[in-house]
Amino acid sequence: MTEPITPEPITPEATAPAATTEAAAATPEAVAGPEVTAEDSRRQVLYWRLLARLFDSEEQATLESASLAVVEDIDLPAALLDPQASVDSIVQRHPDLAAEFDGLMAPQDSDAQDERDRAAEVRRAALVSKVLLNTFTTGQGTVSAEQLARWQSDAGWLERALGCKPGDLRGGRPGGGAGGNTAGGSGGVPGGVSPTGTGGGRANPDLSRLIPAIGPELGSIEAELVKRMHLREVLADPQLAAQLTPSMSLIEQLLRDKNNLSGVALANAKALIRRFVDEVAEVLRTQVEKSTVGALDRSVPPKRVFRNLDLDRTIWKNLTNWSPEEERLYVDRLYYRHTARKTTPQRLIVVVDQSGSMVDSMVNCTILASIFAGLPKVDVHLIAYDTQALDLTPWVHDPFETLLRTQLGGGTDGTVAMALAQPKIAEPRNTVVVWISDFYEWRGEELFESMAAVHRSGAKFIPVGSVTSAGRGSVNPWFRERFKDLGAPVLSGHIKKLVHELKTFLA
């Protein structure tokens, strides 16, 4: 392209990259294909720029000028093409765009080609390009607290664009800055868009087919940004520390480095850990809420009071006493509902591998154990292990204190944890043992035999490969096959699966 680009008119020849134009000219099928409209060419320019910026940090002047012409022509702000402008800052200046970002990339019902709104597709391409570039182009060098906070915010907008709540794909917790303060600082976005949701109140979509690894990949990018920070220096400065939004990646670094922190830095680290714990606990508590504990005890006769009267059963059982002539039902027996529940406390033993590969599970399960410990008639015990085992039961009600006592990293020897867990199984029928690990063990056969013995004793044994929000985890295939043969298959995936299993057993 040698001619200067102007906003009007934009023709396919003026906007399409030279390589694409030449390829189309050389291909007979392309010449005979559907007519390429101006909107198709504009959309192509925006996506070519997206690919160029994703794979090459060098700016392509021709694509930049063509993209600017397209953006201005469709009445979008030029700031969409500014790599330094966050999505938050754009939405603050242009509040109406918030609703367009929400659900922008969510799976749509496929429409026929002749029903496509090509002008809307061009606009969508410009907004999609902004969200993707801000999330996946993170540069190099040291990362500041402000840069990390901005990335977390932009990642939250990507999650919203995919139809999720900010933070859902990265860790199942509310996003710290993702759209949480847009539109003039009012704490919400005009037009009914929730600052922490997707505005429509719809359930999270199933993205497994669309982009199966997006959640873990976002987590990996965030973890890399945290590693590039001078975290100790940031924590030592209260103003910089205040800019940090707690995330699983950040909490992992803090837990690993807590013994090397002191004074102001340690106080700020603890504040971040407690904040994260409280946020995750709020999410998990909602999933556990209204969990009924204790089965009905039918050996105890129902109390014969009016509030326990089973009216439907009483009518059904006395239908033989119906008098057609008098149109009356004569009741010779009343039936009452059982309300008494078994008072035997049920014991929940949670054993967590605290080696380096299981940090996410350690944090989630520590919080989950504290929530179940708050339920009536549930006796919760918590054990953490690597090559040594630590009984954390005295602090199980306070996940913050529990996490501060963990020592992340090291090898894995589950036999030392089993030595602590087995004596706690006093009544197998009323006991559930949850074992969270990737099961890459030093003494695998010995450990499996003891686990099989627990299962055969009548206790409910639940092996768990991962309890992360993203559901990503690697499990030793040797253990996986043997647990399957035992009749206790490994539970892996979203933490909601574990919550469901525990509620089913404890109900």
361 and 499 together in one domain: yes
328 and 427 together in one domain: no
> Model's pTM, two decimal places?
0.59
pLDDT number for residue 495:
72
Dihedral pair phi/psi, residue 457, rounded to 5°? -70, -15
Question: In the beta sheet, which residues pair with residue 296?
Answer: 341
pLDDT (tens digit per residue) in 75-89: 899 989 888 888 988
Distance between CA 404 and CA 258 in Å, rounded? 8
Out of 255, 272, 289, a domain closes at 289
336 and 457 together in one domain: no
352 and 329 together in one domain: no
The answer to whether residue 58 is domain-embedded is no
pLDDT number for residue 299:
63
Domain count, the chain: 3
220 and 283 together in one domain: yes
pLDDT number for residue 450:
94
Whether 396 and 425 have beta carbons less than 8 Å apart is answered as no
Q: Which residues constitute the domain of residue 302?
A: 296-340
Question: DSSP characters for 321-348?
Answer: GEETTTTEE------B----B--PPEEE
191 and 205 together in one domain: yes
Q: Give alpha helix (H) positions in 74-213.
A: 87-93, 97-101, 118-136, 145-161, 168-171
483 and 455 together in one domain: yes
pLDDT number for residue 467:
62
Distance between CA 196 and CA 189 in Å, rounded? 10
pLDDT (tens digit per residue) in 438-458: 888 888 899 999 999 999 999
Q: Is the dihedral of CA 487, 488, 492, 496 positive or negative?
A: positive
334 and 355 together in one domain: no
Distance between CA 269 and CA 262 in Å, rounded? 9
Q: Which residues of the chain have pLDDT under 50?
A: 1-32, 112-113, 174-202, 208, 212, 291-293, 343, 469-471
Whether 246 and 398 have beta carbons less than 8 Å apart is answered as no
Which token pair is 58? 């060098």
Distance between CA 44 and CA 125 in Å, rounded? 9
The DSSP 8-state label assigned to residue 250 in this structure reads: H
Question: DSSP characters for 380-404?
Answer: EEEEEESSSEEE-GGGTT-HHHHHH
467 and 403 together in one domain: yes
Whether 469 and 215 have beta carbons less than 8 Å apart is answered as yes
The answer to whether residue 118 is domain-embedded is no
Q: Minimal CA–CA distance to 130: which of 58, 79, 194?
A: 79
Give 400's contacts (C-beta < 8 A, 6+ positions apart). Answer: 270, 273, 274, 277
Judged by DSSP in three states, 199 sits in coil
Dihedral pair phi/psi, residue 105, rounded to 5°? -110, 10
CATH number for the domain including 365? 3.40.50.410
pLDDT number for residue 1:
40
Out of 272, 289, 306, a domain closes at 289
Dihedral pair phi/psi, residue 307, rounded to 5°? -65, -20
Beta strands in 47-113 (DSSP E): none
The answer to whether residue 467 is domain-embedded is yes
Distance between CA 364 and CA 423 in Å, rounded? 25
pLDDT number for residue 176:
43
The DSSP 8-state label assigned to residue 34 in this structure reads: P
Whether 124 and 131 have beta carbons less than 8 Å apart is answered as no
Out of 289, 310, 328, a domain closes at 289
Count Cβ atoms within 10 A of the Cβ of residue 172 and give its class: 0-12 exposed, 13-18 middle, 19 or more buried: buried
The answer to whether residue 74 is domain-embedded is no
The answer to whether residue 122 is domain-embedded is no
Question: DSSP characters for 461-475?
Answer: EEEEEE--SS-----
384 and 481 together in one domain: yes
The answer to whether residue 425 is domain-embedded is yes
Fill in the amino acid letter for 208: S
356 and 307 together in one domain: no
Question: DSSP characters for 138-171?
Answer: --SS-B-HHHHHHHHHHHHHHHHHTTS-TTHHHH
pLDDT number for residue 242:
86
332 and 367 together in one domain: no
Give 447's contacts (C-beta < 8 A, 6+ positions apart). Answer: 414, 415, 418, 441
